[in-house]
Every structure is written in structure tokens, then in C-alpha cells.
Structure 1
Amino acid sequence: MPSLIRPVLATGSLNRAPQPTLPADGGLVLRPWRAEDAPAVHEAYQDPLLHQWHGRSSGCEQEAAGWIARWRASWETERGAQWAVADGGTDELLGRVALRQVLLGDGVAEVAYWTVARARGRGVAVRATTALTRWALEDVGFHRLELMHSTANRASCRVATKAGFAPEGTRRSALLHPDGWHDMHLHARVRGD
């Protein structure tokens, strides 16, 4: 059955070129993940705060290396796009920012992020999310980016708001965390905001 609506983004909108490195304010850089990032990712996932909000831990560097391989492959399949957030001068890993649940035809994706413990409170997540959002909406042409976080995660709510994601509502009992079901705030930005 033919569709009456043209796709917002065509297949190949992401992977027709290598994954870009994106500059962010304050000397940050969003760069594709590298195999040699595995020790830093493993270390980041030892943080109890990541366990609380992301529901996973890394048992060893090899496991983190497997995640990195999948994150890199997501670019080729256009199902996601994952970046390491690093200090532009030292290349120190400060966090991760990603587009997940990419639906090119609908022009929609979900933004996700985390920061390492020593980078928190420095605006890293806001600057990385802002840079990714600008690229996705303005350069690639996504129409809508969504962002969800637990209603109990006030810091993530501040990041979403500072990055220009308007609150749209609460999804009740929407995601299972290690301590039980959490209501999730839904924020979004649309092209032209």
C-alpha cells in the first residue's frame, strides 16, 4: 500500500557519510567512540548514580568494549548514533550523548546522556545535549527529538530544560529501574523551537 506521506528523512541520511565529530561550547567535543575508550566506560559504569538511572553496570572492560562496538554499529544501521563527550584539549572522557530509537521516516529520535562523576555540575550534559540537538535538527533535518528521565532525577530535568527541551507530560510507571517502576517526564524539541 503506497504511503501518502513522504519520509521526513530518507534512508542514508546518517550513514551516507562517516559519523562526524561535533564541537560543543566550553571546549567539549562529541566524537565517535573508539575501542580504546573501553577502560573509561567500564570505570564510568562503576558509579552508583549510573546504576540508579541507567539500570546497568559493567562487569569488565571486555563488556564495555562490546557496548562500544554496538554503539559504533548503530551508526551504520541508522538505528542510533552515539558519541563520547570528551574534553577537546585532553580527550578525557566526560560522558556520553546519543540519539536512540531513531525513526528516520518520521524524523524522530530520543536523546540520551550521562556524565562521569567528576564532570557533574559543570554543564557538560547541557552543552553536549545542545550541540547534538543543534546538529540533529538543523544539519540532519530531524523534526522532533524526545528526552525522557525519571521524575525523581531532578538533575536530568534541569539538563533537559536548560538544553531547550520543553516538558510535555508524565508517563506513569513507564520504566523499570533497580528500585522499581518510575514515572518518566517527557520533554521534546521540535524543529523551529
Structure 2
Amino acid sequence: MVEDVAEAVAERITGENPEAENTGSPREVCWRGSGVGFAPLDVDDAELIHTWRADPVASHEIGMWPRSLSAVRDRIERDRDDHDRDDFLVLLPNGTPIGHIALFDQDLVDGTAEIMLVLDSDHRGRGHGADAVDALVDLAFGELPMHRVQAVTHTTNTAALDVLARAGFVQEGVRRSACLHRGRRYDVAVLALLREEWQALTRPRSWDVPVAGQ
């Protein structure tokens, strides 16, 4: 589905900034937002994903068990064949990969999906998470027939809750004691953004963001 979205809705742009250092191989950007671009996740990105997932802060906040590199590679392989999800590498304008974002559990009949984001520890707290979430919900509502996009996180994950609130997500409730992590129970917040709430946002949409060189 990533490839279908890329061909249907986006021009192939490089997102390059000649004044900034590009720390990785050039990637085709299939979607962009304010300050970030998305490239389809590839098996060759497994080492990056493995490193981000193994970060102790991320693993604690997300509540995920770190996997081996081979397991991460196998998971990416399986997810590429899952037509109910889209996985992207989040890139800075100079091509630097800073995170992994996904729209998964897509139900095109009911118009629902869930969002997931992991950022490189060196690039947190700079607004990139909010830019990535904004870009993904623009994709969900602007190019896919979604009506409701959900996000789930620990109630103690204040950074994620702030990013989601800035993107317009509304906390709908709390699943009490729903997660076991590091020997203790955590409450889990359930947030969502509805299509009419997204339409009411006054920020520019992804397709309104100027492209460098155009």
C-alpha cells in the first residue's frame, strides 16, 4: 500500500538541503510535511529500527520488548505484505533518518486506523514528532478514507501526550492497569482524531507545504 500511495498522491522529491549534511543514502520521499518527509520503510532500515527500539527511554515509554536485529528484519519483511498498514522512515529535509512512523490496523470499511511513532533519541524535543504526526494524519484523512485515527500510550508518557494534543488528538479515556512493563502495571491513554476535527484545524496541510526548489 505504501507504493500505491506514493504513486497516487506524491511527486518524487529529494527533500535535499544543499547547506546541510546528508548522513545517509538518498531516499525517495513519497510524502512530506512541515520539516519532515516520509520514505517507505525498507528491510535495509532494520538496523536503524533495531537501534531506536533498543533505546531504554523509547522501550519504556512505548512498552515494547527489544528484539534481535534478525527479528526486526523479519518483522519488516512481514509488514511489507500487510495491506492494512503503511510504514515510513521519517526524514529531515537533508535526508537524515530520525524515526519510524506507521499507520496500522487500517479498516477502510469503518475508516479507522492507529498511529505509531518512534524517534531517534538525538532528535526528540525539537518538534519533529509533531511534524511527523501532522503529516501522517494528513495522509490518513487527505488521501485515505479514514474517519478516525487512534493513538495509544502510557498515561505517564507526557511527551507523546503533548505531541498528540498539539496535533489535535482528544483523549477519550483510560484503560486502567492495561499494560505490564518492568514489573508494574500502567494505565494506558486512548486518544483519537476524527475527520471533522482534522478539517477544523487551521494549520497548512501537507500538500500546501512548499517544496524546496519549486
Between the aligned partners of 1:16 and 1:80, the Cα distance in structure 2 is 8
Secondary structure of 1:141's partner?
coil
Identity of aligned residues (%): 27
- Tell me the equivalent position of 2:48: 40
* Gap runs ≥5 in structure 1: 1-14
Secondary structure of 1:101's partner?
strand
Q: Call closer, same or farther: CA 1:172–1:141 in 2, change over 3 Å.
A: same
Choose which of 72, 80, 87 in structure 1 pairs with 2:85.
80
Between the aligned partners of 1:70 and 1:87, the Cα distance in structure 2 is 26
- Tell me the equivalent position of 1:116: 120
- Tell me the equivalent position of 1:18: 4
Partner deviation per Cα, 1:136-184 (whole Å, 9 max, x = no partner): 0122120111111100111110011011101212111223333432111
- Tell me the equivalent position of 1:64: 72
Contact 2:41–2:88 (CA under 8 A) maintained in structure 1: yes
Q: Call closer, same or farther: CA 1:16–1:99 in 2, change over 3 Å.
A: closer
- Which structure has the highest strand share of the two? 1
Task: List aligned pairs for 1:165-180, cutoff 5 A.
Answer: 165-180=169-184
Q: Displacement, 1:71?
A: 2.8
Q: Call closer, same or farther: CA 1:159–1:180 in 2, change over 3 Å.
A: same
Choose which of 58, 64, 67 in structure 2 pairs with 1:55.
64
Between the aligned partners of 2:170 and 2:109, the Cα distance in structure 1 is 23
- Count of matched residue pairs: 173
Between the aligned partners of 2:44 and 2:2, the Cα distance in structure 1 is 25
* Gap runs ≥5 in structure 2: 7-29, 198-214
Q: Taking structure 1 as the reference length, what is the TM-score of the superposition?
A: 0.82
Contact 1:33–1:71 (CA under 8 A) maintained in structure 2: no
Partner deviation per Cα, 1:70-113 (whole Å, 9 max, x = no partner): 23222xxx2222111112322x2211111122222111111111
- Tell me the equivalent position of 2:165: 161
Q: Give the aligned CA root-mean-square deviation in angstroms.
A: 1.8
Q: Displacement, 1:123?
A: 1.2
Q: Call closer, same or farther: CA 1:72–1:19 in 2, change over 3 Å.
A: farther
- Tell me the equivalent position of 1:151: 155
Secondary structure of 2:87's partner?
strand
Q: Taking structure 2 as the reference length, what is the TM-score of the superposition?
A: 0.75
Between the aligned partners of 1:19 and 1:51, the Cα distance in structure 2 is 30
Secondary structure of 1:127's partner?
helix
Contact 2:53–2:118 (CA under 8 A) maintained in structure 1: no
